[in-house]
């Protein structure tokens, strides 16, 4: 590794530790009343003596179908860092295909019957659509809602949208 590359790598490490990147964005939000959820998480963690911090994700969502979902989860960082991450591989793998992501979007939008989904352009044959639906179902992102109909389980709607938001650069 050249000296310039080493210096650049060290600068990136220092910036990460300081919480500020080259553009001046903060990796850690400033102490501010706009971060009420973060402040609530910190208070809850202080009560439980979770010294390693934690992660909070929450949402209140109204889908195009007018269904409403409110959901939150807070987890101590230590528990997340200590667990076996390979257990999450199947869940992430199910989201790792463009057709499956489109199926999830269409189902959240109200198209829930396999016949309606298979009629959409770009999703493949009915057999291929069933294959993708089985993958999503086995990973817990979908469940059957009657004969030939699928839906995203209520406890997965907000986490799915959080995963989608987290995937943005």
9-to-4, 25, 99 alpha-carbon distances in Å:
9, 18, 37
* Phi, psi for residue 22 in degrees, rounded to 5: -60, -30
**Angle at 147 (CA atoms; ends 144, 152), nearest 5 degrees:** 25
Between CA 135 and CA 137 the distance in angstroms is 5
Q: Which two tokens stand for residue 56?
A: 């909070």
Topology of domain 85-166, per CATH? Arc Repressor Mutant, subunit A (1.10.10)
Between CA 48 and CA 86 the distance in angstroms is 27
pLDDT 10s digit of each residue in the chain, 169 long? 566 666 566 555 555 444 444 444 445 544 555 667 777 777 777 777 666 788 888 899 999 999 999 988 888 888 889 999 998 999 999 999 999 999 999 999 999 999 999 999 999 999 999 999 999 999 999 999 988 899 999 999 999 999 999 998 7
- Domain ranges in the chain are 3-74, 85-166
8 A C-beta contact, residue 41 and residue 56: yes
- pTM score, two decimals? 0.74
């Amino acid at each position: 590794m050249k000296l310039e590359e080493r210096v650049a790598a060290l600068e990136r490490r220092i910036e990460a530790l300081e919480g500020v990147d080259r553009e001046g964005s903060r990796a850690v939000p400033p102490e501010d009343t706009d971060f009420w959820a973060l402040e609530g998480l910190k208070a809850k963690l202080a009560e439980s003596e979770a010294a390693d911090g934690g992660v909070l994700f929450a949402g209140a969502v109204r889908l195009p179908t007018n269904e409403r979902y409110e959901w939150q989860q807070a987890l101590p960082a230590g528990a997340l860092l200590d667990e076996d991450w390979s257990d999450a591989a199947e869940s992430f793998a199910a989201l790792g295909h463009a057709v499956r992501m489109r199926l999830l979007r269409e189902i959240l939008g109200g198209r829930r019957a396999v016949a309606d989904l298979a009629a959409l352009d770009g999703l493949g044959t009915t057999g291929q659509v069933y294959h993708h639906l089985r993958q999503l179902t086995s990973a817990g992102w979908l469940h059957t809602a009657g004969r030939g109909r699928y839906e995203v389980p209520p406890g997965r709607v907000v986490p799915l949208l959080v995963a989608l938001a987290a995937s943005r650069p």
